[in-house]
Amino acid sequence: MKLFEVFEQLSVGELSQLSLGGGESGEINPSNYAKVVAHINLGLTALYTRFCLKESELIIPLVEGTLKYALTAQDILKVERIYDAANAEWALNDEANSLACRTLSPTLIQIPQELLDTSGLIRVNYRANHPRIVVVAGYIDPSITELELPYSYLQALLYFVASRCHNPVGMINEFHAGNSYYTKYVAECDRLELENLEMGQGGQYERLYYNGWV
């Protein structure tokens, strides 16, 4: 999906009544690209946090006597699974299991002492964020800027961005467009969860797509 497709849908739909929506031109004014992209970045992070749309992995050498390990990747949203060198999955955040690893924060994990000497390294599989869309000196080319988002999640992104853009307008005639769009965003996310489209919940095609295998 290209960024211009998101701009196009916003300008003829959710943002068509706002000045940054482009008015009769049907385009978002380039002077507002940075503003809209900032909302899109937040929307992508919100979707990637709620849904497992991308997974990445860190390989961490274990050090004798060290039980806590910081995860250095910048795109970590949530640790999903931990594997040892033999590819066996270790328990994670299981309060009833004394041998379970713990996530002390999104970027800090703790390994049980009993498991420390059983493997020379661990592989940490984590839910990854969408790469940040960068606007340089106010300029970006929407026609070549790629978004790593399945089309099935486009409507949710549009509702999120619309909510953010309409919120400063506030209430007009007892109607708050920003709140209305956010309610639509939440409802669309609930619908997507029922469709089981995310990775690990029936979304095998998305897993292949994001790893570049199709």
Where are any strands of DSSP class E within the chain?
Answer: 55-61, 68-70, 76-84, 89-90, 102-105, 108-110, 121-128, 171-172, 175-176
* Residue 212, pLDDT score: 43
Based on the number of CB atoms within 10 Å of its own CB, is 124 exposed (0-12), middle (13-18) or buried (19 or more)? buried
Structure tokens, 191? 């619908």
- In this predicted model, what pLDDT tens digit does every residue of 51-68 receive, in sequence order? 999 999 999 999 998 999
Prediction pTM value = 0.82
* Residue 14, pLDDT score: 76
Span 22-35, mean pLDDT?
A: 70
Give the separation between CA 66 and CA 30, rounded to whole angstroms: 51
Residue (of 146, 152, 133) closest to 42 by Cα position: 133
* Residue 172, pLDDT score: 60
Least confident of 17-26, 84-93, 180-189: 17-26
SS3 category, 208: helix
Residue with tokens 């309060």: 95
* Residue 207, pLDDT score: 46
The CA angle 27-49-42, to the nearest 5 degrees, is 30
More confident residue, 15 or 100: 100
Integer CA distances (angstroms), 175 to 15, 66, 104, 119, in order: 16, 56, 42, 59
The CA angle 214-152-30, to the nearest 5 degrees, is 95
Structure tokens, 81? 């699974």
Span 201-205, mean pLDDT?
A: 40
Q: Is the pLDDT of residue 143 over 50?
A: yes
Q: Is the pLDDT of residue 214 over 60?
A: no
* Residue 19, pLDDT score: 60
The CA angle 144-165-29, to the nearest 5 degrees, is 45
- In this predicted model, what pLDDT tens digit does every residue of 85-120 receive, in sequence order? 999 999 999 999 999 999 999 999 999 999 988 888
Q: Is the pLDDT of residue 33 over 60?
A: yes
**Quick one: pLDDT band at residue 169, thresholds 50, 70, 90?**
low
Span 146-171, mean pLDDT?
A: 86
Integer CA distances (angstroms), 14 to 8, 26, 66, 151, in order: 10, 12, 52, 17
Span 124-147, mean pLDDT?
A: 94
The strand order across the sheet containing 121-128 reads: 55-61, 121-128, 76-84, 89-90
